[in-house]
Structure 1
Amino acid sequence: MYASVIVDIPSKSVNQVFDYRVPEGMLDILKVGHRVLVPFGRRTIQGYVMKLSEMTDFDLERIKEIARTLDIEPVLTEEMVIIAKHLADYYIDQYISVIETILPAALKANYKKVLRLAEGHGATAKRLLESHQQGGEVETRRLPAPVLEELAPHLASGEIKEETVITQHTKKKTALAVYSLRHPEVELSRAKKQQELLDVIESSSEPIFIRDLAAEGFSNHLVNELVRKGYVEKVERQMERDPYADRVFTLDPPKVLNEEQQHAYDRIAEMMDAGEPRTFLLHGITGSGKTEVYLQVIQKVMDEGRNAIMLVPEIALTPQMVNRFKSRFGDDVAVLHSGLSHGEKYDEWRKIKEGRARVSVGARSSVFAPFENIGAIIVDEEHETTYKQGDRPMYHATEVAKFRSRYHNCPLILGTATPSLETYARSERGVYERLELTQRAGTKVLPEIHVVDMAEEHRGGNTSIISQTLKEAIDQRIERGEQTVLLLNRRGYSNFQICQNCGYVPICPNCDISLTYHKSNSSLLCHYCGYESAVRRICENCQSDDVTFRGTGTEKVEEILRDMFDTEIVRMDNDTTRRKGMHEKLLDRFEEEEIPILLGTQMIAKGLDYPKVTLVGVLNADTMLNLPDFRANEKTYQLLTQVSGRAGRHALSGEVIFQTYNPSHYAIQLAKGNDYRQFYEKEMAFRRLARYSPFYFHVLFTVSSEDISKCLKATSHIHDALVDAVSDKSIIVGPSPSPLERINRQYRFQIMLKYKREPALLEVLGGLDEYYHEAYRTEGVSLRIDVDPQVIM
């Protein structure tokens, strides 16, 4: 038998399967999806079995044998092997990159070279090697040059050999436990505490962790005494890293569905019973009870012995969603998102893989949860661009969800109050089935929305970022003991520093963008490459001391709010949530301590559900309108609608205030009226005229290099290749500088291809990717091909 293996080398030159002979001893155990060690050139590396067959087209004498398997059960299911091939081909990437994205980072191989004694070694070689051991081994890269010179003769003679050791990135976690050796005649009447401990240990059918015994008041000394007397024995026992181990979840029984919710549930259940992979758009206004529909669909899935995947767009949404799901389904829920450590994610992934979890909740990458019997897949807030991976492989989680839905013949539910235009257009054509929820659950009504013209405010003498209307509304909430959510989609203290004498603005030396002032650590920071410098009070250009800061970020607004209202503020942005677990801690503090104001960037705009939040203020509704992106109006409408939905979700009525310099803009006015249908029709007219999605598909080519002339040459070459390859019906826009022309010292130019049908396109994209893979190695010119881009910055 022969195994086709993808090797763990992220290089275009080896982006193919290699055939290996399966040893006799592996014939009955080796399966598709197994991790294996294989000889490759002069080294041994990790690989993944993609196919097994009785025949091979390669020269039998040159085919090598698999060294060994790394797992008892395959880490990849046959479905994931198919998905890896599909994603690598469609998104123009390497198979191994996609496989490593599908699997938890813990399974990534670590390679190191060590020196070991060979058979027939002499005493001198043994003494030398042992004198340089650290932790029981001699790692080649840690040896200084003189030591390597000393060992060289013994390497040349073959007394010492170099081997590649492959280990997993993260191992299963273990801890000391004890179990009883079962001596029924034992009686420790003179040592009552020891007898009590022994009774506890004997009552357990499996070893008990010593840390758990300590929590019950039994000291290590007591345990050691029982070990010394031979009544119990210590053993290493595997334990799971459970990020929710210390949390208590109150049981949440199913709610009674209203008529619209029940209709949506019934249609989804009907397709589940029919085994049809139908895609549903669950279009429900904010607060309409979409989550309860999700929960009851998943309950039906579990009752039928199947599993479910629930995707949310951001970590900030995960805590509340986890609470809802854990309260409903308990330990059947596994959580997968980037806020967990490698070890925690690995253990949650193993819970799914081993069948100990029935439901996964998490962000984009959890679409690859290794379930083998899926009954439903749900994508909440389906319009969010975070479902598209920004780095290679640039897959879209919803596209993977569609693939898995077809593979398992199960429904896919795309839930949102503000569908992407592409999704809504498909529901109009009947490709997706649309289910509408037009009323808020229970007796709750949508909040009242007001638009404040900030130009009028300034003409009236108010130069603050807080309008008089918003200030009065916040004062009222503080007096009534209610809470306010304020959105400003710009972090930092000030946008930039400027010299008022000569106009000089400090720019990032690596990127074509001004540095943002962060007052908390008195630094100027680039939000693109991370460059940081200390604030200088003297102008670098003219040496004037007349320097000031302009623009307003969340850090500065927090300061303004504290002075204006003399109250506590919770600020949520990338600066305050950088450390693990801070999303949840800040939100818990906001709710439990009833902090009057939550201020944040767009991470607070969706998914949050607090009974005392009755006011939402958008401090600058124009932020996204000014982006050089054809989706700018759509993103503005979605953000405003989503954040408006945070107000008045429970018994108290809500109010929303949009502050803007463009009060008549249709995206703002239609968000005020919560009129998605009219927005859709108006925006689609523009898209049709400009020939953008959903009327055309897109591919974005971004070329980058430290040498601008190489960028120009490469984009000209790509443009010519596309002109020769695509039909006249397709549109090629560019080459042109990217909206952010230089990032991290790399100049960036781009080309946009718009097309409807190009059968030979994937072949052309593959050829360009291969060509510039080599060009990057030789000339430092890189090409990024983004199929179906969500952002064109």
Structure 2
Amino acid sequence: MAQIAQVLVDVPTMQTNDPYSYAIPDQLADQLQPGMRVTVPFGHRVVSGVVVGFTTSTQYEGQLKSIRAVLDLAPVLNPELQQLADWLAQTTYAFRITCIQTMLPNLLKASVERQIVPTNELTATERAVYFPDGAARDFDTSKLDTDTVAGLLKLRRAGKVTVTYQVKDKASVKTTPGITTSLAPQQLEDLKQSVATRAPKQAALLTYLQALPDHPVPQAKVAHAAGVSSAVIRGAETKGWLKRTPLEVYRDPFQQPVKPTTPLRLNAEQQAAVDAITTAVTQRQAKNFLVEGVTGSGKTEVYLQSIAVALQQGRSALMLVPEIALTPQMTNRVKARFGQRVAVLHSGLSKGEQYDEWRRIDRGEATVVVGARSAVFAPIQHLGLIIMDEEHESSYKQDENPRYHARDVALWRGKYHDCPVVLGSATPSLETRARAAKGLYTRLVLAHRINDRPLPTVHIIDMRAELKQHQGDDDFSAPLLTAIQDRLDRHEQVVLMLNRRGFSSFMMCRDCGFVLKCPNCDISLTYHVNPRVMKCHYCGHEEAVPTVCPNCRSRKIRYYGTGTQKVETALQKLLPTARILRMDVDSTRRKGAHEKLLNQFGQHDADILLGTQMIAKGLDFPNVTLVGVLNADTALGLPDFRASERTFQLLTQVSGRAGRAEKPGEVYIQTFNPDHYAIQLARTQDYERFFVTEMHMRHQGNYPPYYYAIQLTASHEDESVAAKAMYQILAAVKQGLSDQAIILGPTPKAIARVKRKYYYQVVIKYKHEPHLKAVLDQIRQGSQRAPRGLAVAIDAEPMNFM
């Protein structure tokens, strides 16, 4: 094998897509493989990197440095994921090492730690002050006081200490004691006879050890089966009867066991969809399907029966869901059908659980993967089917480097594995539906609910007239309150959606109009009642609730708008007997909170589930007969070309939570814009008419899917630096554009300041610009030499321009 390795180094301050050449030490010769993580010297420090290839020569004229160490016994990236990282870097304008890091679980992302090492130049006094135990010390400025940091920096300038960089691999395997016997069966029998009368517990253990297999058995299992305590086992180890060795075990992310299920009988529409999908699975066709089905039409059963066919053929399946909140319900349904073959991947798991699930998949022990966006990178092999549920959801797009859309990655992997990709939704994105119209996707329609159950009856409440008539609380209309009380009387359940968390949207002075804003962001602070504090939902800044206006000192400062906490409080006063569960970002911070809340609601431990948009999708509770949308206008007022589409999708999805079983459903949508086409068409779930209407609007505005779009952003703490950079970038971009391209900006972003940084943007809309990619690649590379603190971002096909 060639003795020069090509290594992509992980150096955030100066990234490149070109690997560096490193000599391979003799002890590692013929052992390295592409996809392995290594540590290498880089400048004056040691960093981690990934081997991406080998060569026999290099253009570097100096002495090559050698690889220091290998972090893995086997590649952490298989050949497919290595190719995928290269493609992702090209299409998202990110760096290859960033893409690789995105694919790996958190515990496989090595960290670099700095240590201060004393030299012989130190005086006895300096050694006593800074190195009292004589050993090197960690250099973490967040844990050292200012005087100590200053002193250490002075010693370094004087050459009295040196700084070393150690790469720490965070990957850790969970173990439990494993038991193996040390003696032959006859020896165990002789010992048992000698202790039978005076030590019956020891005799019981010896009996069990006689039947012990050759491989280690978990100590807990031995103790339970033999009926002995851990003290008896430790005593047996001391006597030399058995050995205890670490036994690797997986962390189990599943909170509770699930009851196995069997395939359900399909209706004609479902059967036609399954037949089309499984034919592509059987024939190994990289065919793309759009399953467009009204809410409650049985899309999940189509997915499950299609997965079963892939498994029967010895292949695996990947299923993506958009929200962590949906993962417990969907995972339980998949696990109930396919048992231990199911693995789950999402950010709600602990780092250890993510690592163990990743290894189960990589080892081929799990052949069905269910997860949120990042699960699209699961190292699953022999893929036979990829499913993306609720494909229209914006959460499938990552908003930081690499800015990928999970749908694009899924389509790439489908081609790689020659397997079909199924995109499912009751309200497909306009881009996906347009591709189906062009014949790029095969459209499979589920137009009817299971057993021909009717869609819920939808009432639109004009809140303008309601407030004039009742002069009351703008959270609840009289018809909605009456309908809620009716469900409580009938012991049925209610889902209420408010697309905003917190107690109230903002605080404003009634005398001077001052609005309390975040000092770091151009956004008003949100009032939270528990704990009683003002919070910024962008940077996390918190401060005390003011009692007087900071601007005019008036005491007439009040909170306005509404939030989930405020609605919960008001609802409890209006309906004191109602049992209410609140589900939003604040109430679901703890691990497992999503599943706990949904289980409580599913077991009818609550009458009303109040939440943000996380409750709008995928949830299936047969006793829910009423859905209320408290404010349907939240998204309509945003400066976003997808505002109408998102409103229609959200209202259609949340309406679909009602009447999914035998009891009929009813929906109340409260709005100040009752005549808007997105709201009117959501009332009848008329997606096709909405598609035609919205496509006409997009065509008039030159927006996707009629045009491609690129968003370029520059940010800096100094507004003038960000603006100047954006104008320089625009000048560079114009060189590669034709006169057919449409340029918007430079302008400040809709929220111009976030986390003390100002944001300026340019949006490019185009149909065919062959030189644009080369120009953007130059901008990406040039951004590495940008002034300190200036960040430049390139987003291909942004989900919004805000």
TM-score, L = length of structure 2: 0.92
Aligned partner of residue 361 in structure 2, secondary structure: helix
Q: Does 1:735 align with 2:746?
A: yes
Q: Show the counterpart of 1:288.
A: 297
From 500, 506, 530, the equivalent of 2:540 is: 530
Residues 12, 94 of structure 1: 8 Å contact kept: no
Q: Show the counterpart of 1:17.
A: 19
Q: Deviations over 1:371-404 (max 9, x none)?
A: 1211111110000000000111111111111110
Q: Deviations over 1:441-463 (max 9, x none)?
A: 22422111111111111121242
Q: Deviations over 1:293-346 (max 9, x none)?
A: 111111111111111111000100000011101111111111100001111100
Residues 483, 594 of structure 1: 8 Å contact kept: no
Deviation at 1:203, TM superposition (A): 3.8
Deviation at 1:249, TM superposition (A): 1.3
Deviation at 1:24, TM superposition (A): 4.9
Deviation at 1:23, TM superposition (A): 4.4
Deviation at 1:49, TM superposition (A): 1.4
Aligned partner of residue 428 in structure 2, secondary structure: coil
Gaps of 5+ in 1: 119-125
Provide the C-alpha distance between the structure 2 equivalents of 1:257 and 1:497, rounded to a whole number of angstroms: 53
Residues 504, 526 of structure 2: 8 Å contact kept: yes
Residues 10, 94 of structure 1: 8 Å contact kept: no
Q: Deviations over 1:55-87 (max 9, x none)?
A: 334247633443443222210011111111111
Provide the C-alpha distance between the structure 2 equivalents of 1:275 and 1:22, rounded to a whole number of angstroms: 41
Identity of aligned residues (%): 45
* Mapping of residues 29-108 of structure 1, within 5 Å: 29-53=31-55, 55-59=56-60, 62-108=63-109
From 217, 231, 246, the equivalent of 1:236 is: 246
Q: Show the counterpart of 1:123.
A: none
Provide the C-alpha distance between the structure 2 equivalents of 1:277 and 1:431, rounded to a whole number of angstroms: 12
Aligned partner of residue 265 in structure 2, secondary structure: coil
* Mapping of residues 305-324 of structure 1, within 5 Å: 305-324=314-333
Provide the C-alpha distance between the structure 2 equivalents of 1:619 and 1:14, rounded to a whole number of angstroms: 49
Q: Does 1:711 align with 2:722?
A: yes
Aligned partner of residue 378 in structure 1, secondary structure: strand
Q: Deviations over 1:518-566 (max 9, x none)?
A: 1111111111111111112122222222222211111000011111111
Q: Show the counterpart of 2:456.
A: 447
Residues 268, 297 of structure 1: 8 Å contact kept: yes
Provide the C-alpha distance between the structure 2 equivalents of 1:409 and 1:603, rounded to a whole number of angstroms: 34
Q: Does 1:3 align with 2:5?
A: yes
* Mapping of residues 342-353 of structure 1, within 5 Å: 342-353=351-362
Provide the C-alpha distance between the structure 2 equivalents of 1:506 and 1:768, rounded to a whole number of angstroms: 38
From 493, 496, 503, the equivalent of 1:493 is: 503
Q: Does 1:771 align with 2:767?
A: no
Q: Does 1:471 align with 2:471?
A: no
Q: Deviations over 1:184-238 (max 9, x none)?
A: 2320312112222344455443334345556676433222221222212222222
Residues 703, 750 of structure 1: 8 Å contact kept: yes
Q: Show the counterpart of 2:180.
A: 179
Q: Does 1:621 align with 2:632?
A: yes
* Mapping of residues 750-769 of structure 1, within 5 Å: 750-769=761-780
- Identify which range, 444-453 or 337-346, moves more after superposition: 444-453
Q: 1:614 to 1:115 in 2, by over 3 A?
A: same
Q: 1:148 to 1:562 in 2, by over 3 A?
A: closer
Provide the C-alpha distance between the structure 1 equivalents of 2:692 and 2:43, rounded to a whole number of angstroms: 59
Aligned partner of residue 717 in structure 1, secondary structure: helix
Deviation at 1:14, TM superposition (A): 4.0
From 334, 337, 342, the equivalent of 2:343 is: 334
Residues 12, 770 of structure 1: 8 Å contact kept: no
Residues 11, 94 of structure 1: 8 Å contact kept: no
Provide the C-alpha distance between the structure 1 equivalents of 2:289 and 2:685, rounded to a whole number of angstroms: 22
Q: Show the counterpart of 2:216.
A: 207
Residues 291, 444 of structure 2: 8 Å contact kept: yes
Aligned partner of residue 457 in structure 1, secondary structure: helix
Provide the C-alpha distance between the structure 2 equivalents of 1:130 and 1:525, rounded to a whole number of angstroms: 42
From 419, 425, 431, the equivalent of 1:416 is: 425
Provide the C-alpha distance between the structure 1 equivalents of 2:738 and 2:172, rounded to a whole number of angstroms: 52
Instruction: Number of aligned residue pairs: give it.
Output: 777
Residues 132, 138 of structure 1: 8 Å contact kept: no
Residues 733, 776 of structure 2: 8 Å contact kept: no
Residues 34, 76 of structure 1: 8 Å contact kept: yes
Q: Deviations over 1:11-44 (max 9, x none)?
A: 3454421123444554443222112233333443
Aligned partner of residue 636 in structure 2, secondary structure: helix
Q: Does 1:376 align with 2:381?
A: no
Q: 1:776 to 1:324 in 2, by over 3 A?
A: farther
Q: Show the counterpart of 1:194.
A: 202
Q: Deviations over 1:720-749 (max 9, x none)?
A: 222222011110011122111211222222
Q: Show the counterpart of 1:637.
A: 648
Deviation at 1:149, TM superposition (A): 11
Q: Show the counterpart of 1:431.
A: 440
Residues 15, 784 of structure 2: 8 Å contact kept: no
Q: Show the counterpart of 1:502.
A: 512
Q: Show the counterpart of 1:576.
A: 587
Q: Show the counterpart of 2:759.
A: 748
Provide the C-alpha distance between the structure 2 equivalents of 1:323 and 1:355, rounded to a whole number of angstroms: 20
Q: Show the counterpart of 2:123.
A: none
TM-score, L = length of structure 1: 0.93
Provide the C-alpha distance between the structure 1 equivalents of 2:438 and 2:535, rounded to a whole number of angstroms: 47
Q: 1:104 to 1:453 in 2, by over 3 A?
A: same
* Mapping of residues 506-521 of structure 1, within 5 Å: 506-521=516-531
Provide the C-alpha distance between the structure 2 equivalents of 1:581 and 1:323, rounded to a whole number of angstroms: 14
Deviation at 1:628, TM superposition (A): 0.5
Q: Does 1:481 align with 2:491?
A: yes
Deviation at 1:178, TM superposition (A): 2.9
Counterpart amino acid of residue 343 in structure 2: A
Q: Show the counterpart of 1:122.
A: none
Deviation at 1:131, TM superposition (A): 7.3
Counterpart amino acid of residue 378 in structure 1: I
Q: 1:513 to 1:112 in 2, by over 3 A?
A: closer
Provide the C-alpha distance between the structure 1 equivalents of 2:253 and 2:293, rounded to a whole number of angstroms: 32
Provide the C-alpha distance between the structure 1 equivalents of 2:101 and 2:568, rounded to a whole number of angstroms: 41
RMSD: 2.7
Q: Does 1:400 align with 2:409?
A: yes
Residues 710, 797 of structure 2: 8 Å contact kept: yes
Provide the C-alpha distance between the structure 2 equivalents of 1:431 and 1:214, rounded to a whole number of angstroms: 60
- Identify which range, 709-718 or 689-698, moves more after superposition: 709-718
- Identify which range, 10-19 or 421-430, moves more after superposition: 10-19
Gaps of 5+ in 2: 120-126
Counterpart amino acid of residue 428 in structure 1: A
Q: 1:258 to 1:107 in 2, by over 3 A?
A: same
* Mapping of residues 124-143 of structure 1, within 5 Å: 132=133, 139=138
Q: Show the counterpart of 2:124.
A: none
- Identify which range, 568-577 or 104-113, moves more after superposition: 104-113
From 607, 610, 613, the equivalent of 2:621 is: 610
- Identify which range, 760-769 or 162-171, moves more after superposition: 162-171
- Identify which range, 443-452 or 423-432, moves more after superposition: 443-452
Provide the C-alpha distance between the structure 2 equivalents of 1:47 and 1:469, rounded to a whole number of angstroms: 62
Q: Deviations over 1:399-453 (max 9, x none)?
A: 1111101110000000100000000000000011111111112242211111111
Q: Deviations over 1:584-617 (max 9, x none)?
A: 1111111224311000000000010011011111
Q: Deviations over 1:448-491 (max 9, x none)?
A: 11111111111212422111111111111111110000000011
